[in-house]
Structure 1
Amino acid sequence: MCAHYEPVTDRERYLVGFGVEPPTDVGQAELWPGYAGSFIRRPRPQDHAGYPPAMEAIAGIFGLIPHWAKDQTISRRTYNARSETVAEKPSYRDAWRLGRRCIIPAEAFYEPDWRSGKAVPTRIARADKRPMGIAGIWMGWKAPDGSILRSYSMLTINADQHAFMRQFHKPQDEKRMVVILPEARYHDWLLASPQQSRDFLLAWPAAELASTQVQAVEQHGAHLADGVGRLI
């Protein structure tokens, strides 16, 4: 699972990499569940006069908040949606059914490398150093004060046989990886039906990923090193 990632915060990289103007608040340099970040979605026609753009970037909370949630703390547990069960799990099924696809701009994500016998936080990025567009789903949530808060979750797939990602997490744990989308298919992903979306849930080639071990992890992200986290 991915509970810690670096969003794209540089405006020029955001524009060049995704073809959209980033929101005013793209989040801080590193994000964990419950933190504010940004995602790219297909615009709603009612939000735009005339012809809406093909894509738009908006601010949101990392960790999907379903419409029935009583408060936003659920986002601390809904940051990754398993592709195998996304259409069934209560936290995600409405977003999936309604076609709420999104792209999450990221420079890198972090996973624990357990090959030494202890968790070593490791930064994973594209080998070509280009930003990655992670496939996700998003939802709007009406807060008690009447305001609308948007949130998002990353989609993950099994990586037990992936030459690169299988080295992360504890030996006995299932290996998972986020879905990284090819740039040429960004628009297609946002327009895909629930049935068509399954065609996008593919593993990124191992040779096109690069890793760097880091010395420490922030205290509020320590759950990453422990491998702790629940998927709802």
Structure 2
Amino acid sequence: MCSHYEAPTPAQVAAEFGVKPYDQGKLDLWPTYFGPFIRRPENAEAQDEPGPTLECMTGSFGLIPGWAKDTKIARRTFNCRSETAAEKPSFRNAWKRCQRCILPASAFYEPDWRTGKAVPTRIFRADGQTMGIAALWDWWRSPAGEIIHSYSILTINAGNHELMRNFHKPNDEKRMVVVLPKRLYTDWLDAPASEAMDFMRQFPADRLATS
């Protein structure tokens, strides 16, 4: 499970995705911290004038479904198993409504247990480019009426992945985040729910690096 990742700077995200600059505090993100996510603007089709094709929002790392009583659920919903996203109560509405987004990331971290101890390992694109990680987003209204956006990283099995199979405890299932090829960014955001699983693919091991 990915519980720690690095966000690029707002200037880097704006240049990469053609979105407006935004305010961002911490770049080192853990569950319940607020980070950026890229989505299609809501109600874009109803606009009289053409608007931006993408927008950057900030939200809680850990999805907060509309029915949640408070934001504490975000501590458990920062990752979403893609295989069960359409069924799990926390994620099924976002999946059904195609509330998909892309997380800009410079790197993510996983524990390497091959020495018998957890060694935090930084994982990033070998070419140094910004990662676009597949995710779901949702919004929640607080008792005071505040709207809070949130997101969850989608994951897939990595048991046969040359690099990612080395992480997590020996007896735990090997999982990895879904790093999207750049050519598929818009397809991921626009595909109907029935085609979303087609994007749940392993990013090639030789295109990732560690430190």
Q: TM-score, normalised by structure 1?
A: 0.87
Q: One-letter code of the match for 1:36?
A: F
Instruction: State the secondary structure of the residue aligned to 1:84.
Output: helix
CA distance in structure 2 between the partners assigned to 1:17 and 1:96 by the alignment: 25
Call closer, same or farther: CA 1:48–1:76 in 2, change over 3 Å: farther
Please list every run of 5 or more consecutive structure 1 residues that lacks an aligned counterpart in the other structure: 213-232
Instruction: State the secondary structure of the residue aligned to 2:77.
Output: coil
Q: One-letter code of the match for 1:61?
A: S
CA distance in structure 2 between the partners assigned to 1:91 and 1:52 by the alignment: 31
CA distance in structure 2 between the partners assigned to 1:184 and 1:8 by the alignment: 20
Q: How does 1:5-24 map to 2 (within 5 A)?
A: 5-11=5-11, 13-24=12-23
CA distance in structure 2 between the partners assigned to 1:6 and 1:187 by the alignment: 22
Query: 1:222 matched to which residue of 2?
Result: none
CA distance in structure 2 between the partners assigned to 1:183 and 1:19 by the alignment: 14
Q: One-letter code of the match for 1:8?
A: P
- The farther-off stretch of 101-110 and 190-199 is 190-199
Q: One-letter code of the match for 2:31?
A: P
Matched, 1:45 2:43: yes
CA distance in structure 2 between the partners assigned to 1:106 and 1:71 by the alignment: 27
Q: How does 1:212-223 map to 2 (within 5 A)?
A: 212=211
Query: 1:67 matched to which residue of 2?
Result: 66
Does the CA-based 8 Å contact 1:62-1:153 persist in structure 2?
Answer: yes
Query: 2:210 matched to which residue of 1?
Result: 211
Matched, 1:112 2:111: yes
Does the CA-based 8 Å contact 1:45-1:52 persist in structure 2?
Answer: no
CA distance in structure 2 between the partners assigned to 1:188 and 1:117 by the alignment: 41
The structural deviation recorded for 1:18 is 2.0
CA distance in structure 2 between the partners assigned to 1:22 and 1:81 by the alignment: 28
Q: One-letter code of the match for 2:178?
A: V
1:34 to 22, 32, 35: 32
How many residue pairs get aligned? The number is 210
Instruction: State the secondary structure of the residue aligned to 2:16.
Output: helix
Instruction: State the secondary structure of the residue aligned to 2:186.
Output: helix
What whole-Å deviation, never above 9, does each CA across 1:116-166 have from its counterpart, x for those lacking one? Answer: 010000000000010000000000100110111000000000000100000
What whole-Å deviation, never above 9, does each CA across 1:200-231 have from its counterpart, x for those lacking one? Answer: 1100000000011xxxxxxxxxxxxxxxxxxx
Please list every run of 5 or more consecutive structure 2 residues that lacks an aligned counterpart in the other structure: none
Does the CA-based 8 Å contact 1:17-1:130 persist in structure 2?
Answer: no
Does the CA-based 8 Å contact 1:160-1:166 persist in structure 2?
Answer: yes
- The farther-off stretch of 40-49 and 99-108 is 40-49
Query: 1:226 matched to which residue of 2?
Result: none
Instruction: State the secondary structure of the residue aligned to 1:198.
Output: helix
Query: 2:199 matched to which residue of 1?
Result: 200
The structural deviation recorded for 1:184 is 1.4
Query: 2:4 matched to which residue of 1?
Result: 4
RMSD: 1.3
Instruction: State the secondary structure of the residue aligned to 2:36.
Output: strand
CA distance in structure 2 between the partners assigned to 1:140 and 1:29 by the alignment: 22
CA distance in structure 1 between the partners assigned to 2:26 and 2:129 by the alignment: 19
